[in-house]
Amino acid sequence: TQYVWYGSFGSNLNSERFACYLRGGKVAGMSIQQPGARDTHVPFRIPPTSDCPTASMVVPHRMFFAKVSPWWSNGGVAFLDCEKKEENEELHTHLRLWRISLEQFSDVFAQENGLHPAEFHERFTKEEVLAMAERGGGDHRIGNGSWYGYVKALGAFTEAGAVEPILTFTLPPVELEAIRSGVVDEVNPPSMGYHDVIARGLVELGLEATEADAYLRARYSLR
């Protein structure tokens, strides 16, 4: 089995919320119930403990809120500007890394893009994610206006000789640039329900509640 580390930066920082993509269901603040992955095994505890298979990292890219999400009371949702280095270290982004199978990652990716896992046929292969990790590349896997259709490799871990890529997904680079430059005016603060779900995830990572709140509010705009 090929494993990957999914790098989450938005609501999936929260273990309870991320588990919805694996076993199905929803958490407070969500208006849509997730079908879950075909492999419903949740390989971590809720909340996680020190012996569960999660990790974290800070990346030199900016996270911001944009679009209008009916899933989250029409507030903005989080995107990672992973093709542009952020010079201001205070705006670097916390990622939570979830170790899941590549099959589960494909199912999570499908759900994030509004698809049932059974409807997503362009599934990721071991060969392509390993190649993506080696070159630090990305792949615009789902088009047609999907918000999280671009997968980006952010490195890899090596476990017992096996390479396990670190993967995240966000808007494609062209759309990120359009929002960043102001050509498209889609920056939108999150709903409080979405804000609170992410904040609880950041607290699980070790931030104080006040730190988590300030971290998120600093990313309400791109100015």
| Mean pLDDT, residues 65-77 | 93
Q: Provide the edge-to-edge strand list for the sheet that holds 138-140.
A: 54-59, 93-101, 3-8, 162-170, 150-159, 138-140
Task: Give Cα 113 to chain centroid, integer Å.
Answer: 12
Query: 48 with 130: CB under 8 angstroms?
Result: no
Q: Distance between CA 155 and CA 174 in Å, rounded?
A: 22
Query: What pTM was computed for the model?
Result: 0.93
Query: 1 with 101: CB under 8 angstroms?
Result: yes
pLDDT tens, 35-52?
999 999 988 766 665 566
> According to the model, what pLDDT value does residue 50 have?
58
What rounded mean pLDDT belongs to the chain?
A: 91
| Mean pLDDT, residues 146-157 | 94
> According to the model, what pLDDT value does residue 79 have?
97
